Amino acid sequence: MCKVKELFSRILLFQQELITFISTFKIMSENILQLTDVAVFQGENLVLNDISLEIKKGEFVYLIGKTGSGKSSLMKTLYGDLPLREGSGNIVDFDLKTLREKDIPYLRRKLGVVFQDFKLLPDRNVNNNLLFVLKATGWKDTSLMTAKIEEVLDKVGMKTKGFKFPHELSGGEQQRIAIARALLNDPDLILADEPTGNLDPQTSVEIMKVLQDINQNGRTILMATHDYALILKYPSKTLKCDGNKVFEVVQRAI
């Protein structure tokens, strides 16, 4: 009798483990971004051509390439700043081809965008920078907003800096706030365009640790960078823009 019970509980345990495994696999295999035969233009100039790529939920992906190779143009296409004129694209369940002007704010809510130059509002403190974004994206409840601000500041190690103005913060601290701002609406994908471009090597590593931490907590990140030292230190899937194309490269070919 006892053996039957034991066998039964083992089967139950195995079943639970199988379910966990299948759901993890399902999350990892879900595409968060898919481009097929995409061309990117700046005005009439063709910047990138024939781009087909996909990013799956939970991945950390670098986007590298020489200056002028099209990294920012690709990012702009992804957050709706440049229209998708050729090919097809799907990002966080939005169809880039049929994206209308009025859809863009909703797309941006599902994306967290981080720039090289932080883009914080200089005339208000950190809390009010974050509050501004929450209000602009439809949040109303004051206590929920306060709690969310505290949560994102905590995630980037800036819990005590909410009262500071941007000019009272170092570059690295400003970038931490910009990352906190990108996290406010729990984005499915973070697009970071050279987030360490204005920072010294030590501060770059600190910002990278913040991004790695966020990725390990399940968020998907696409990061454009020039910083090969960082890529070597934190190896991950890498896409390269070169000669109007985007292709995956292996670490030693960088």
Ligand X SMILES: Nc1ncnc2c1ncn2[C@@H]1O[C@H](COP(=O)(O)OP(=O)(O)OP(=O)(O)O)[C@@H](O)[C@H]1O
| Positions in the binding site for ligand X (CB under 6 A) | 42-43, 47, 65, 67-73, 241
Helices (H) and strands (E) in the chain, counts: 8, 10
**190 contact, one of Mg ion, ligand X, none, CB 5-8 Å limit per kind:** none
Token representation of residue 81 = 């700043």
Q: Does 196 help bind Mg ion (rule: CB under 5 A)? A: no
For ligand X, the closer CB: 45 or 143: 45
Half-sphere exposure of 92 (CA within 13 A, CB side): 24
Q: Does 185 help bind Mg ion (rule: CB under 5 A)? A: no
For Mg ion, the closer CB: 74 or 96: 74
Distance CA 195, CA 197 (A): 6
For Mg ion, the closer CB: 70 or 172: 70
For ligand X, the closer CB: 41 or 165: 41
Query: Hey, what long-range contacts does 170-175 have (CB within 8 A, 24 or more apart)?
Result: 170/203, 171/118, 171/198, 171/199, 171/203, 172/199, 172/203, 172/206, 172/207, 174/118, 174/120, 175/114, 175/118, 175/199, 175/203, 175/207
Which residues in 41-100 contact Mg ion (CB under 5 A)?
Answer: 71-72
Q: How far is the CB of 84 from ligand X (least distance, A)?
A: 15
Q: Tell me if residue 194 falls in helix, strand or coil.
A: coil
Token representation of residue 15 = 């079943």
**219 contact, one of ligand X, Mg ion, none, CB 5-8 Å limit per kind:** none
**174 contact, one of ligand X, Mg ion, none, CB 5-8 Å limit per kind:** none
Q: How far is the CB of 241 from ligand X (least distance, A)?
A: 6
Q: How many residues in the shown chain lie near Mg ion by CB under 5 A?
A: 2
Applying CB under 5 A, which residues contact Mg ion?
71-72
